[in-house]
Structure 1
């Protein structure tokens, strides 16, 4: 009578196949290969995604590099200091749409971008909008102040973080890959859009998009 049990040699591929399938299932469970869904994000940020969709057709010309939010994302409650050295937090600005910008004097594109940010602040700042430009120079605390003064950039409020933690906090969520970095934030502290690199923030393209983001003007697509 023939022995129908698989030989040891034949059992080895079966064991390997079983391990391989099990490993693939574990990998899929961890990385979401159709077996699990990623978290949907903070539900309070769904309106920010809707705003991003609304203004997306306006992200062209000078703002063509703007990346719109496609999933709800609440930003960390970034901490920094004002011009008097008093602590500030991103949540202190709740109720306003913000353009949060990280800059440093050692960053040439940042210095070139600052006049446009200063002009933007002069044109749109008010109860519904503000530019929050945070300097992250870590060595000479007076250098950025001197730069702003010599360039006659007086409309921007001065904010700083000499530990550059704001950059690390945004980097940790994939929103700061280099300098300058700007994040358009809705009144609840949620991401609307992000851009890596400088932009002409005082251009007509930028003004039209930002007015639409704050709901102050109807977007004509």
Structure 2
């Protein structure tokens, strides 16, 4: 009985410490983002934060096994899309995000898909099976993303300004192919991608 109680205490302590670390990073207000950009109906689930939040620079891995960080995209608006192979709505977003990535090639935005699958080796066969051979993704098998943002909902998309600060998010599926998305993203790039 004592061993069970001790494990419970240790588990509760770990959860509280983890939540405190997350709360700290999300409460790190750096600047007032000013007046929110008026949203089209399709973006109603998007939250433009009133204050930009500083976040730690954590490592991810790419398909070649090399370490990558969001910091390498500083100077651009960064759209991070969390997804997983077991997520049906994520499968619907992939072609839309792939199209956006092509549409914004060479512009002041980086679109970074991050798979939260525990087994990165299973991701490429999944993408190939669904005819997404050209879709490049990063992996986060150790859940480093949890140091920056919650990863308990997928798909989820988070936006970071040109200095790497969290400025907005949408949790759940979004129709990225809607005609009103690109004009809205253009405004976000103008506001945060400098």
Q: Which runs of 5+ in 2 are unaligned?
A: 1-26
Helix, strand or coil: the match of 2:148?
helix
- Relative contact order (C-alpha < 8 Å, sep 6+): which is higher? 2
| Partner residue in 2 for 1:185 | 160
Matched, 1:65 2:10: no
Matched, 1:81 2:56: no
* 8 A contact 1:82–1:158 mirrored in 2: yes
Equivalent of 1:41 in 10, 29, 40: 29
| Partner residue in 1 for 2:129 | 150
* 8 A contact 2:42–2:175 mirrored in 1: yes
* 8 A contact 1:122–1:155 mirrored in 2: no
- Structure 1 residue 97: deviation in Å? 0.8
* 8 A contact 2:116–2:143 mirrored in 1: yes
Measured in 1, the distance between the counterparts of 2:84 and 2:152 equals: 14
* Corresponding pairs, count: 165
Equivalent of 1:213 in 178, 188, 192: 188
TM-score in terms of structure 1 length:
0.67
CA RMSD of aligned residues (A): 2.1
Equivalent of 1:165 in 125, 129, 144: 144
For residues 48-104 of structure 1, what are the alpha-carbon distances to aligned partners after superposition, in whole Å with 9 as ceiling and x for unaligned? x13xx342x12x322110011012212331320112110011111111111101111
| Partner residue in 2 for 1:35 | none
Between structure 1 and structure 2, the one with the greater Rg is 1
- Structure 1 residue 177: deviation in Å? 4.2
Measured in 1, the distance between the counterparts of 2:85 and 2:142 equals: 15
Which structure has the highest strand share of the two?
Answer: 2
Q: Which runs of 5+ in 1 are unaligned?
A: 1-38, 217-221
* 8 A contact 1:137–1:164 mirrored in 2: no
TM-score in terms of structure 2 length:
0.76
Query: Residues 108-123 of structure 1: matches in 2 within 5 Å?
Result: 108-123=88-103
- Structure 1 residue 156: deviation in Å? 3.8
- Structure 1 residue 165: deviation in Å? 2.0
Q: Call closer, same or farther: CA 1:72–1:146 in 2, change over 3 Å.
A: same
For residues 22-47 of structure 1, what are the alpha-carbon distances to aligned partners after superposition, in whole Å with 9 as ceiling and x for unaligned? xxxxxxxxxxxxxxxxx87224xx4x
